[in-house]
Each structure stands twice: as C-alpha cells, then as structure tokens.
C-alpha cells in the first residue's frame, strides 16, 4: 500500500442491522436539517397568518376611521346647513324688522337712549357702557369669523350704534345707513377702529334729530385686506342696504372699496384713507376725501424740516400705496426746498422688528429719518429708533404721528418731533368739548385723533346733504349735494369740498412736548404754525383728476 492510500480516510462500513441506512452519521444530519427546515417553514406560516390577521385588523381600523370621518363631515355639513338657514332667517328678520334697528326717543330724564333690538328686551343704557360692550363683541367675534359680521356683531357693534334721538317726526322714514369699515383688530385698530364708530355715533346724536335724518350705523373689520374690504362693501350694498361706506384706512383697501362703490353708485367717504391718488388720477364722483392725504402731510413736513436745516433725508416706508405715495410727495417737497433724499427702504405692514431698516437709516448719515407708515408701525419705528440711538444726531419725522400714538411711546421717545395734523383735541373750546365726550365713550378712554375728528365732521356734513337730497340711493347725487354745501363744523371750521372730492381745511404743524412741559396725560402737542388750505393741499389743476375741467 502506498503512503497516499494510507493517509486517505476509510469510508464507513455499511451496517447489516439497525434502523439507519448504510451510512449512519450523514443521514442523521440530513434528517435533523429537514426537521429544522420544517419547523422554520411552519413558524413562517404561523407568522404569516398572524401578520395577515394584524393587517386585517388595521384595515378594519382604517375603515372605522373613515366611517367616523364621514360621520363627522356629515355632521359638519348639517351644522353649516343650519348656520346658512339661520343666517337666511336673520336676514329675513332684519328685512322685515328694519325700522326696529333705531334708537327710540329718549325718556323724560334725558339720561340715555332706549335701545330696541330684535329679540332683546328694551332697556336704558349709557353710550359709554354700550360702546364697551360693542368693542368686546368685536374682539370676541374676530376670533371666530374671517370677516363677515354675524348677527351678534351686527346688532351690538353696528346696527345698535344708531344715534337718532327724538325721532318722533321721522318715524316711517328710511334711515340713512352708514357702514364704518376699518381695521378693528390689527395695526390701525387704536387709530381708527371703534373710535371711528363712536365719532360717527356722536355726530348722529348731535344732528340726526335736528336735521330730521334717522341714522343707522353698522361696522366691520376689513383686516387690511383689499379683497376682504371689497367683499364686505359689496355685501353691504347688495344685501344689507348700506347707503354710505366711511373711514377706509389703508389706501389699498380704500381703492378696492371705491371701485365697488362706483359700480353700485354708492357714496364713499375717506377719513382714515390717505393716498392722494384718490383725488388725483383715481378720483371719483362717488368719493369725498375728508381729513388728510399724503400730499398735505408729506408736503407740510418735508418743507418745514428742510427749511429748518434737515437737508438730507432717509425714508422707512410701508410697502403699499399709502406709504409709497407719502414718500413720493415728501421727496418732492424736500427737493423743492433744496434738500436731497439719500435713500429709502420698504417694509411690510405690521412689521415687529425694524432693526435692519433702522441700521440702514443710521448708516446713511441723513439729517432726517422719516417714517412713511402709520399706526402700530409708526410706534415701533420710534421706539426702536430711540433704542438704537438715532436721536439726537438724526431728527425723526412721523407723517401720521398723532395723539393716539403718545401713550404707547411716551414723551421721552418722541419729544421735539414735528407732525402735521388737521385736528388736536386741545385746540379750542369746540375741540375740547368733543374730546371729553369721546374720551367718556371710548372703551380704552382715549382722546380722539384727527381721523376720529374727521369721522365726526364728515358724518355731520353727510347728514346735512341727506337733509337736502332726502335719499341716498344715488351716490353721485349725494356727493354732489355734499360738494354744493359749504363745510362748517366745530372741529375743522369753515371750508368746502372741491370738484375732485378734496375737503379743504387748514393743516397745523405741531411739536411734541417734553415730559416737563406736559401738564396732563393728553397734553402732548404745542402749535408751531398753521398752513392755509390752499397751501396745505395739492392745487386742483395739478392732481390729474379727470373730473376737473381745465
């Protein structure tokens, strides 16, 4: 035997007896492997059955969820349907019971008017308490509704704010229905808001009975959105029988509403609206611009500060039609007075942080930093400019700075600032009397600003025109009557309304007092100069209004 053969392992010998095959060990391994494989297969089959059972349960759960969602959607549909039915019912009730949405004659004690609301027992209530309730209603409802005032808002915040005491002689006469449309919940809410409704109500109290014109006032929040404002105006004109829309802060909203008013031939009056294009290229036979505009404010402040030594300017401007128009008008006045604009930045409405814009203004080295914005944006600009140390090296200019801004700012932050305004509550006996009445009625106990005063004066003049026309169905005729009657009220004095719709009255240049000079909370301005109407507002032939005959 060779050595290789000796090294090879020998095959196992076949057994002659036993249960195993002739090769014993390998067959045992194979059998065990088969048994293991069978166990694995059985376990896999069991797991598969368990997985299929789990999947079936999950599918059943998904079906249950879908069925539940379907029931929920069905329930929501029923709720929406019921709401629509309820709204339709409310509209029908309002249509049938419209005469009841007026103040009844005062009782003998003359303390307060009786209110009669659908479904509400008549009761005696003071104006201030009622306005506070109205303001609360607006705040609550703004959380639940995008823009459409529901029945409660309609009654409390608008229709019940009617001022027509002693209307016994006017019973049966269709009331003049005024819609106050402004910002009730955002950046301009303190600067128009419920205050504009109060001012219109006070004017109606003073002149409704005297002129024999019953008045109904409703209000709504346009949320600074042109599409929302236009939709509210269209609904008011089409279904709610509103005759005149007033106030309209935010010029983009005002322009959108004015387009609807022209389409429906209804009157619109701007007090909070600012852009001068509404008495220029976009003037309308349906529109009156009452309090101020971007030309009067921009020109007055631009000319005054440039002549006082502010030769270089930088603008922080709200990025919509009002801000851009204000900047353009002021820049023109600065250039005419020998000054120069070094730069400008644009910001969105209701900006919380102006740091980047103010750093650019500070870096420009301009003598004057001008804030071409309004409301809360003006407050934020002045506060943060003070914190960044822009003053006293640079002068700050606020085109719409007014008495309503001061409590939030404090005199320290704005002392010495110049501002143009058509009204100040402490100017004379008439303005002081109005200021005290307004303060008592306002839920936040605020003094009126120029735009609130504009709502009072414009409402008074509107009622005088209504007493002549006897109807507000034709908006053009109503506005023509307003133009034909000279303006004369305790807040703005004597004036007129031009062919382009511009109400003419003086503009005053005020300076913010120092804390030491202020004698009370609302003693904040001192008069610097008076600008005659012809100098304050753009010349009639320079605006480009198509209504003006050249």
Surface-to-core class of residue 63, CB atoms within 10 Å of its CB (0-12 exposed, 13-18 middle, 19+ buried): exposed
- Tell which CATH architecture fits domain 293-421+518-533: 3-Layer(aba) Sandwich (3.40)
- Classify burial at 95, counting beta carbons within 10 Å of its beta carbon; exposed 0-12, middle 13-18, buried 19 or more: exposed
- Alpha carbon distance 438, 179 (integer Å): 19
Tens place of pLDDT per residue across the chain (550 aa): 444 444 444 444 444 444 444 444 466 666 777 777 777 677 667 667 666 766 777 776 677 666 666 665 665 555 555 555 555 555 554 554 443 334 333 333 333 333 333 333 233 334 444 445 555 544 444 433 333 344 334 344 444 444 434 443 445 578 999 999 999 999 999 999 999 999 999 999 999 999 999 999 999 999 999 999 999 999 999 999 999 999 999 999 999 999 999 999 999 999 999 999 999 999 999 999 999 999 999 999 999 999 999 999 999 999 999 999 999 999 999 999 999 999 999 999 999 999 999 999 999 999 999 999 999 999 999 999 999 999 889 999 999 999 999 999 999 999 999 999 999 999 999 999 999 999 999 999 999 999 999 999 999 999 999 999 999 999 999 999 999 999 999 999 999 999 999 999 999 999 999 999 999 999 999 999 999 999 999 999 999 999 998 6
Asked whether 183 and 440 are in contact (CB, 8 A), the reply is: no
Q: Measured between alpha carbons, how far is 154 from 431 in angstroms, rounded to an integer?
A: 30
Q: Could you check whether 124-288+423-505 and 293-421+518-533 share the same CATH topology?
A: yes
Taken as a whole, the chain contains a residue count of 550
- Tell me the fold of 124-288+423-505: Rossmann fold (3.40.50)
Backbone angles phi, psi at 205, to 5 degrees: -60, -40
Backbone angles phi, psi at 123, to 5 degrees: -150, 160
Tokens 């929501």 appear where?
76
The answer to whether the beta carbons of residues 502 and 278 sit under 8 Å apart is: no
Tokens representing 285 are 């036979």
| Domain range summary for the chain, segments of one domain joined by + | 27-96, 124-288+423-505, 293-421+518-533
């Amino acid at each position: 035997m060779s050595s290789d053969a000796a090294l090879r392992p020998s095959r196992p010998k076949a057994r002659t007896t036993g249960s195993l095959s002739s090769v014993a060990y390998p067959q045992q391994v194979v059998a065990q492997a088969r048994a293991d494989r069978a166990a694995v297969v059985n376990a896999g089959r069991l797991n598969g059955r368990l997985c299929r059972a789990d999947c079936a349960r999950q599918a059943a759960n998904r079906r249950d969820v879908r069925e539940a969602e379907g029931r929920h959607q069905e329930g929501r549909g029923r709720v929406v349907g019921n709401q629509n039915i309820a709204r339709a019912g409310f509209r029908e009730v309002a249509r049938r019971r419209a005469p009841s949405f007026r103040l009844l004659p005062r009782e003998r004690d003359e303390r307060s008017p009786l209110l009669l609301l659908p479904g509400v027992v008549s009761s005696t209530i003071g104006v201030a308490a009622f306005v506070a309730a109205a303001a609360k209603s607006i705040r609550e409802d703004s959380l639940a509704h995008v823009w459409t005032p529901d029945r409660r808002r309609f009654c409390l915040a608008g229709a019940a704010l009617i001022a027509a005491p002693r209307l016994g002689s006017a019973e049966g006469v269709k009331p003049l229905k005024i819609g106050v449309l402004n910002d009730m919940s955002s950046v301009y809410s303190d600067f128009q808001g419920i205050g504009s409704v109060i001012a219109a109500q006070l004017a109606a109290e003073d002149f409704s009975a005297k002129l024999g014109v019953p008045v109904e006032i409703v209000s709504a929040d346009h949320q600074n959105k042109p599409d929302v404002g236009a939709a509210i105006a269209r609904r008011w004109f089409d279904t709610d029988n509103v005759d005149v829309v007033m106030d309209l802060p935010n010029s983009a909203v005002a322009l959108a509403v004015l387009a609807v008013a022209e389409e429906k031939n209804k009157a619109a009056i701007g007090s909070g609206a600012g852009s001068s294009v509404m008495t220029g290229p976009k003037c309308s036979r349906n529109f009156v611009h009452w309090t101020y505009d971007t030309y009067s404010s921009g020109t007055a402040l631009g000319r005054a500060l440039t002549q006082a030594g502010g030769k270089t300017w930088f603008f922080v401007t709200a990025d919509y039609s009002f801000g851009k128009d204000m900047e353009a008008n002021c820049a023109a006045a600065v250039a005419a007075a020998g000054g120069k604009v070094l730069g400008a930045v644009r910001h969105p409405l209701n900006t919380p942080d102006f740091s980047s814009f103010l750093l650019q203004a500070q870096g420009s080295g301009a003598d004057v930093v001008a804030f071409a914005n309004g409301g809360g944006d003006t407050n934020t600009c002045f506060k943060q400019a003070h914190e960044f140390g822009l003053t006293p090296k640079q002068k700050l200019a606020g085109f719409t700075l007014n008495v309503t801004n001061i409590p939030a700012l404090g005199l320290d932050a704005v002392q010495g600032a110049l501002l143009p305004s058509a009204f100040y509550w402490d100017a004379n006996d008439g303005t002081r009397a109005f200021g005290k009445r307004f303060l008592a009625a306002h839920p936040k106990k605020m003094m009126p600003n120029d735009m609130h005063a504009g709502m009072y004066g414009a409402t008074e003049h509107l009622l005088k025109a209504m007493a002549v026309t006897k109807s507000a169905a034709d908006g053009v005729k109503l506005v023509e009557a307003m133009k034909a009657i000279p303006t004369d009220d305790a807040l703005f004095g004597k004036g007129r309304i031009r062919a382009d719709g511009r109400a003419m009255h003086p503009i005053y240049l005020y300076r913010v007092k120092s804390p030491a000079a202020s004698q009370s909370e609302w003693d904040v301005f001192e008069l610097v100069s008076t600008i005659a109407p012809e100098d304050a507002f753009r010349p009639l032939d320079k605006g480009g209004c198509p209504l003006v005959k050249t």
